[in-house]
């Protein structure tokens, strides 16, 4: 394997462990994948941009990963606007993705979360008890 290919393999290995939580299109028209790894304070988020050469006949390139020789950066704090008394780790992935992709505000997401929890309680309260019909 050539040194260039070895470097590319090491570069793309930087995507291992990330989960795709959203997708968008860059202002230049290229697809972007929003990816996350970890939870809470250790959560990392990256935006991968899929690029290609103008003719579309080359291998292309996936932008957004750390370069292999660079030092790890501190993870951004996506929870800086979390309301007091709330734990973002309680949110299901779909609601976390809504906040991080700016489809919903923190307030809207917590309202949906509370609504879902209320429905779960109603359904649990209305289930027949053991021995009842």
Q: Where are the domains of the chain?
A: 1-71, 79-128
Over 70: is that where the pLDDT of 79 sits?
A: no
C-alpha distances in Å from residue 104, one per residue of 65, 75, 97, 101 = 26, 22, 9, 8
Tokens in use for 124?
């649990």
pLDDT interval class at 76 (50, 70, 90): very low
Torsion of CA 120, 118, 97, 85, to 10 degrees: -120
Mean of the per-residue pLDDT values of the chain: 77
Over 70: is that where the pLDDT of 22 sits?
A: yes
> Mean pLDDT, to the nearest integer, of 79-96?
75
Contact (Cβ atoms closer than 8 angstroms) between residue 82 and residue 96: no
The pTM is what? 0.46
List, as own/partner pairs, every contact residues 121-124 make where C-beta atoms lie below 8 angstroms and the sequence separation is at least 24, other chains included: none
Higher pLDDT, 58 or 27: 27
**pLDDT the model gives residue 109:** 85
Torsion sign across C-alpha atoms 50, 54, 56, 58: negative
């Amino acid at each position: 394997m050539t040194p260039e290919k070895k470097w590319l393999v090491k570069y793309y290995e930087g995507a291992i462990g990330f989960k795709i939580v959203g997708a968008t299109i860059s202002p230049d028209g290229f697809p972007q994948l929003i990816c996350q790894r970890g939870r809470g304070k250790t959560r990392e988020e990256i935006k991968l941009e899929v690029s290609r050469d103008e003719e579309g006949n080359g291998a292309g390139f996936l932008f957004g990963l750390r370069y292999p020789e660079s030092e790890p950066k501190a993870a951004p704090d996506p929870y800086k606007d979390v309301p007091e008394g709330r734990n973002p780790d309680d949110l299901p992935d779909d609601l976390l993705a809504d906040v991080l992709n700016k489809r919903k505000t923190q307030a809207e997401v917590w309202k949906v979360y509370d609504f879902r929890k209320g429905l779960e309680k109603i359904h649990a309260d209305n289930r027949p008890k053991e021995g009842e019909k």
